[in-house]
Amino acid sequence: MDQIYALTDDLLSFINKSATAFHAAAALIQSLEKEGFQALQEDEHWSLKPGHKYYVTRNSSAVVAFITGTEDPAETGFKIIGAHTDSPLFKIKNESETISGNYLKLGVEVYGGPIINTWLDRELSLAGRVMISEKGRTLQRLIKTKRPVAVIPNLAIHMNREVNKGVELNKQSHLPAIFSASGQDPEKGALRRFVAKEVGTHPENIGEMDLFLFDSTPGMYAGMETELITAGRLDNLAMCHAALKALLPAGKKPWTSVAVFYDNEEVGSQTLQGAGSFFLKETLQRILLSEKETLSDSWYRAAARSFMISADMAHALHPNYAEKHDPDYAPRVNKGPVIKLNANFRYATTAETAFRFEQLCKEEKIPCQKMTNRSDIPSGSTIGPVSSSSLGIKTVDVGNPMWAMHSIRETAGVIDHNLMTQAFTAFYSRSL
């Protein structure tokens, strides 16, 4: 169990660092470089060597990391695990400062589909990226405050006696975050001055900012036997971490091992750095081109021989809402990885790809579960269908079971994270 908890400790550390997709990408890159992965630039020529480690980034929020195979990918294919770095958050509307007396509040725009009321009365910190102009140069810096700086207060029950019957929150008028209630009246431009101080520059140097609020409470253990973890952004940083931990020790293999960490899954993936882009496809094709002058039919042969695991967290049976699940497809926490199925292909899984992942788990003695929604409840989706349809690569959608997906605090199992990491490690290490 010590090894399992060491892995979970590392997961919680990764989540605590990864307040936004930008920070998640930075944390991934830090781990990759520590293990000898070499950075590639999209606007430069690539000269790749067999059995070497590389990574490339886009928008500072998406990463593709890979270990080139010792054999031609057209003959051995690519083994790919895909996840996403983003989670539902509240994005600051930078120009929406409102000053009322000694109160300073800022409007927010909801990113993705969070459970909004879980964000009320929480200690919220600020994180994101800031564009800076200094000495004729354009710079980008990450910001992540060490302490909470804002709160979105609830209305007291005395002013809304019906609150426990349910309240619909208006995103424009009910969600602005309170940043200050000091003894002195704030002045316009307070946010920009605060950010400038945090990143060490003059306010006039600050350009556009991608700033988000996030729950400042770190991830932690729960349960009578510390068998659970509670944290923000488990969906989908847990799968990013599992994929990373499987890739790092993968080493030289005949096939090329790939981990892709997309951004913007929570808003549909149709961005330059999302699964709907050509980021992964172009990277795979450039790996092929590093060995050949032209692609000819090499890409099609490589794609046909490849396999992708789309990794995104799954819904566990909720003990207080059992009626929301199909009783025959209701995975349990700490009972192993989940294969996700959907007749309308909201997940990319087919009978063939489910069988291959299930066989992998069986051979590794890893318990495996299956999930599909009740027939009268629409399913969510993942990067799986978006990626597989554009790549032409067979894909299975999997994830670990969890509760309260898209809440500001989510819950998952300690054992499950270890089991999924084992499955991913086996995927990279053996032929399917």
418: tokens are 């270890």
Q: Please tell me the distance from the alpha carbon of residue 88 to that of residue 265, in angstroms, as a whole number.
A: 10
27: tokens are 């944390």
Q: What is the pTM of this model?
A: 0.96
State the pLDDT at residue 432: 67
State the pLDDT at residue 212: 98
Domain boundaries, the chain: 2-87+232-429, 89-215
Residue with the two structure tokens 């659970």: 228
State the pLDDT at residue 293: 67
Residue with the two structure tokens 């169990």: 1
72: tokens are 């031609």
| Residues of the chain predicted below pLDDT 50 | none
The domain defined by 89-215 folds into Aminopeptidase i, Domain 2 (2.30.250)
Q: Please tell me the distance from the alpha carbon of residue 27 to that of residue 65, in angstroms, as a whole number.
A: 13
348: tokens are 């990319």
DSSP class of residue 201 equals: S
Topology agreement, domain 2-87+232-429 and domain 89-215: no
State the pLDDT at residue 101: 82
Query: Per the CATH hierarchy, to which homologous superfamily does domain 2-87+232-429 belong?
Result: Zn peptidases (3.40.630.10)
Q: Pick from 113, 103, 275, 82: which is nearest to 176 by CA?
A: 103
Alpha-carbon distances of 407 from 78, 115, 196, 269, 421, rounded to whole Å: 35, 5, 31, 20, 24
CB atoms within 10 A of CB 269: 22
Kindly report, residue by residue over 88-108, the tens digit of the pLDDT. Answer: 999 999 999 998 888 999 999
Q: Please tell me the distance from the alpha carbon of residue 362 to that of residue 205, in angstroms, as a whole number.
A: 57
